[in-house]
Amino acid sequence: MSELKSVTRRGFGALLAATPAVLAQQQTPPPPTTPAQTPAAGLPTQGASPQRPGRPQDIPPFQDPIEFVRKDVPARMQPFPMTQVRLLAGPFQDAQEWNRGYMSRLPADRLTHNFRLNAGLPSSAKPLGGWEQYVDPSLPRRNQDGELRGHFTGHFLSASAQLWASTGDKEAKAKGDEMVDALAKCQAKLGAGGYLSAFPTEFFDRLDARRGVWAPFYTVHKIMAGMFDMYQYAGNKQALEVVSGMADWADQWTGSKTEEHMQDILRTEYGGMGEVLYNLAAATGNEKWAKAGDRYSKKSFFNPLASRRDELRGLHVNTHIPQVISAARRYEISGDVRFHDVADYFWDEVVGARSYVTTGTSDAEGWQSQPRQLAWELKNTGLRNPNSQPSPNTAECCCAYNMLKLTRHLYSWTGQPRYFDYYERSLLN
């Protein structure tokens, strides 16, 4: 320990670079076959941390219906606006410029092509491929190809807004504005209560009927977040109108379900819908959108976390971190400590018991083992891929991105350096 005290930040970076990938030398016994069994001897047990004082242990924190009351929690730390920060020469500026160059090569008409087809509007643009490929919805469903179409366009809107705010790039803003206008026309043509997507509402009919479909809310969230970012960072008021219409549709769709049925739907997927609806409610003062956001609270996921129990094994990582980001935002605009406890405990547990030294988390996109058994997890792909070879797919960068978002919230609450130490290391790695 005396030697470590003298290590500088630069020296610590060199030390990390010379260190073998984390925990590979541990000799940890394999985890139990089901989450309900006791962890291996000598390892910390799940739920070892105490509950919040005064909470009966046998009553789940989210047992009752969730009711929203606006009560903002003052932040102790606030970020500088993007417009007041500019990157100097270095690897981060290089990455920014590579991103800018890539974005400049994608025309707006290609990025909105699928939306126009879905709305019945003409389009002669060259289609995009990959997850954005168009699949005729009238044809029988053979696989999941094309079922995430539109989500990249949402990401692109967010990127355009942030590029404008962080560099003053007028072309990025102009393209973002052009896309918002095109998508607003699609929304108007669809005439479905504010619905906007690159796929038909039939995807949500399948979700409602508990039939196979790939992540429609995950995708719609990206589009809504992109629109909100175009409003928040680029000052586009039309984008606020579009995302408000989408929020109205989401409110109507979820409001027509019983709580029991909605909780069953959340067993399949939900994306970050809660977060964008809470952000919209905070920006506009319209509490109905916060109440709609509450319907996306997955109680089977939140209850253990609020009770300080790690029941993460077997979950898909990158579809659950956004739920915790939503919880953090909900706490900030309501003061409801249950949501605070979800975010606070989750961060501590993932960072302290389920992350490598690089700060990355996940193996084959899942949490495969009980906490603090990463050496076993490196050698096995666990529940999500039984009887397979060790996965080379660790520390998915989507998870790192979402953990950075969550960390910003927790840092703003306390200003504790440990959060930004984690943030810096994760961003660098």
Contact 305, 342 (CB under 8 A): yes
Write the CA distances from 326 to 103, 250, 271, 331, integer angstroms. 28, 16, 10, 9
Tell me the percentage of the chain whose pLDDT exceeds 70: 84
pLDDT mean across residues, the chain: 87
pLDDT of residue 123: 97
Q: How far apart are CA 397 and CA 110, in angstroms?
A: 26
34-43: list long-range contacts, CB under 8 Å, 24+ apart.
35/311, 35/313, 35/314, 35/370, 39/370, 39/371, 39/373, 40/370, 40/373, 43/370, 43/371, 43/372, 43/373
User: Which is higher by pLDDT, 6 or 128?
Assistant: 128
DSSP secondary structure letters along 162-227: HHHHHH--HHHHHHHHHHHHHHHHHHHHH-STT---SS-THHHHHHHTT-----HHHHHHHHHHHH
pLDDT of residue 54: 57
Q: What is the pTM of this model?
A: 0.86
pLDDT at 21 over 70: no
pLDDT in tens, 54-107: 566 678 999 988 999 999 999 999 999 999 999 999 999 999 999 999 999 999
Q: Which amino acid, 310?
A: D
pLDDT at 41 over 70: no
pLDDT of residue 178: 98
Tokens of 54: 């005064």
| Opening angle at CA 166, ends 163 and 168, nearest 5 | 75
pLDDT of residue 140: 83
Q: Around 187, how many Cα atoms within 13 Å sit in the side-chain half-sphere?
A: 26
Nearest to 30 by CA among 369, 353, 365: 369
